[in-house]
A and B are shown apart, each in its own frame.
Chain A
Amino acid sequence: MKLVTAIIQPDKLDEVRESLVAAGITRITVSRVSGHGRQEGEDLYRGQKVIPNLIPKVRLDIACNDTFVKIACDAIIQSARHNGGKVGDGKIFITSLEECIRIRTGDKGGEAI
């Protein structure tokens, strides 16, 4: 089991979500985060372009069985890119997942995902 954590741009959330669903991955957790990358985000503030200190991003957490890792990553990569790929499109982190428990039943492991 792996935990796939993707940091993407907020405006791509809907596209990524739809792409994941189309690939058969429906169990995800989404949160708003902010952080630094190489990208310099721009906002408009009274006619001036300003660069916020922390850039808003969206984080997706997807726990999946090993066979689904590549499917999930491909789905994210092809839907989260701006015009074929730009600085700031985000990152995917993959970590090993020790255990997964479904609270309702107490099921453990790959079954519970």
Chain B
Amino acid sequence: MKKRKLRILGFLALALFTPLACWAADGTSVDTGITSWMLTSTALVLLMIPGLAMFYGGLVRTKNVLGTMMHSYAAMAIVGVLWAVCGYALSFGTNILGGWIGWDGKLFFLRGIDDTIMGSHVPEYVFAMFQGKFAIITPALITGAFAERVKFRGYCIFLALWSLLVYAPLCHWVWASDGFLFNMGAKGAIDFAGGTVVHISSGISALVAALFLGARRGYPRNSMHPNNLVMTLMGAGLLWVGWFGFNAGSSINSGIDTARALTVTQVAAAAGAVMWMLIEALYHGKSTSLGISSGILAGLVAITPAAGVVQVSGAIALGAIASIISYHAILFKSKLGYDDSLDVFGIHGVSGITGALLLTFFIRPSWMAEAALKAGSWTVWQQLGVQAAAVGITVLYAAVLTLLLVWFVEKTAGFRMEEKDEMAGMDHTLHGEHGYGLLNVN
């Protein structure tokens, strides 16, 4: 994201050369290597959303499998359109309303970027589409918290509003070159690929929505077993694969930063998985497939903000610590008794916060040296303060806005399903379909 500054330089260069000759419209040339990797990354991040649909779809009961997968696919559809229309302009335009959000009329319908090559030598279309995938997956992550009990119409409205009023401002603050978190402290709050913007915001929103909408009928007395863990495992695998685009693509480069991000992503996911297996083996004598999937996700979420600044040993530590903390957060949830059905807060919220804060202790020395050079002196504790501020602001903002949005949707279109419809299942009631043939009911 720091390449945004280069992009502005690119624009300046463009402005300088435009009157001289028409070839200068391409004042910045396309680097085919970087662009190829960014195109690949864009596709990889999109692949995470069917992955998420499979992950969540496998965890619910048979009668809700389609309704649950539809939540992710509806995000691809609705945010896919919204992002191109105005989401990108709101997120990556220049500060308006005192920096609450951005706006740039040129980016409305992406009209003004038809010829734009960014300072990072990538066509701006690619950058806009890459960022758009993040905007899609973030609200889709929330849906695990209110799985099996919301109306489709209400969800669609919530999705659109959340994407514009929660995601776009957060994305602007953290990643736009004039965002206030981007410029906080010596070298900004560190959020390489979306620890705060994506995972903490969706995790906190999930918690708020789950608390507001209430538990599923029968929870926690009745067991609600996953209908298809095979699908969940495949989903977790696709998420891991897609995460290479998510993290390594966030370098907006195809070089040393990319290689670093890719390596720590791989290592942290594996470390998270190993730790979750060990914890379960220790406590229960058996490691479960849902456990290894959860560990993979915890590790991936924790490394997301950190992928640009930590080294391999730090990545292993972050992945493992995230698994330990998430595991206990989920146990604690069971004690509290609220129904975050698929543990969005327990994994994305908790591991996201863990990663965003603890990454401070594993930053590579060269980064700290650069920060010290810029600010005169810079310590780990000062950076921890910046990280904590970014986390705190994200938590507060996402929680308040989500509460307002779920309240608004519940009062207008209706969010929570009627009791009888919930018993009959989402697939039958909301979509008029059923997911499986003669598979046994559960």
Q: Which residues of A contact B (CB under 8 A)?
A: 10-15, 18, 30-32, 34, 42-44, 56, 58
Contacts and interface: CB of A to CB of B under 8 A. Distances in A.
Contact of B440 (A14, A15, A32): A32
B438 interface: yes
A52 to B, nearest CB: 10
Pairs of residues from A and B, 9 with the lowest C-beta to C-beta distance, nearest first: A11-B424, A14-B423, A44-B432, A11-B428, A32-B438, A15-B423, A32-B441, A30-B441, A44-B433
Contacts of A34: 438
Contact of B424 (A14, A31, A43, A44): A14
B408 to A, nearest CB: 30
Contacts of A44: 431-433
B426 to A, nearest CB: 11
Nearest to A17: B423
B394 to A, nearest CB: 38
B420 interface: yes
Secondary structure class of chain B's binding surface, majority of residues: loop
A18 B428 CA distance: 19
Most B Cβ at <10 Å: residue of A32, A43, A44:
A32
B2 interface: no
B254 to A, nearest CB: 41
Contact of B441 (A12, A13, A15, A42): A13
Contacts of A12: 424
Contacts of B428: 10-11
A55 B440 CA distance: 15
Contact of A11 (B429, B433, B437, B440): B429
A18 B434 CA distance: 22
Contacts of A15: 420, 423-424
A77 to B, nearest CB: 17
Contact of A31 (B429, B432, B440): B440
A44 B423 CA distance: 20
A42 B434 CA distance: 11
A88 to B, nearest CB: 13
B438 to A, nearest CB: 5
B224 to A, nearest CB: 11
A14 B61 CA distance: 12
Contacts of A30: 441
A79 to B, nearest CB: 10
A82 B159 CA distance: 32
B77 to A, nearest CB: 16
B439 A32 contact: yes
A69 B281 CA distance: 47
Contacts of B429: 11
